Amino acid sequence: YNPEYAKWTIDDYVQSEFCESNWMVRALTNKMVGPLASEDVMIAKEILKRKCLIGLMDRMEESIVRFHAYFGFGDAGDLDC
């Protein structure tokens, strides 16, 4: 902890060496240094599209049905949601 950081504004942080630049895109594309291009963003979006399945807490029943269908657990009509 550095008490000097408590005085920083958002702008101070963004201009500092501590600000991460598109960390999710960098992590997904394994491009941790150097400039990013729009192609890197497209690759990261494709990775998320192919590798992630997201459910929503406020739509839990719908999410469970989606997981059931996606993973091929059988007839979604068998669910008792």
Single pTM value for the model: 0.58
CB under 8 Å to 65, separation ≥6 — which residues?
76, 79, 81
Q: How far from 16 is each of 3, 4, 58, CA to CA, in Å? A: 16, 13, 38
Q: Output the six-digit token pair for 27.
A: 């992590």
Q: What angle do CA 29, 20, 50 make, to 5 degrees?
A: 30
For residue range 3-60, list pLDDT tens digits in order. Answer: 989 999 999 988 888 887 899 999 999 999 999 999 999 999 999 999 988 899 999 9
pLDDT of 68 > 90? The answer is no
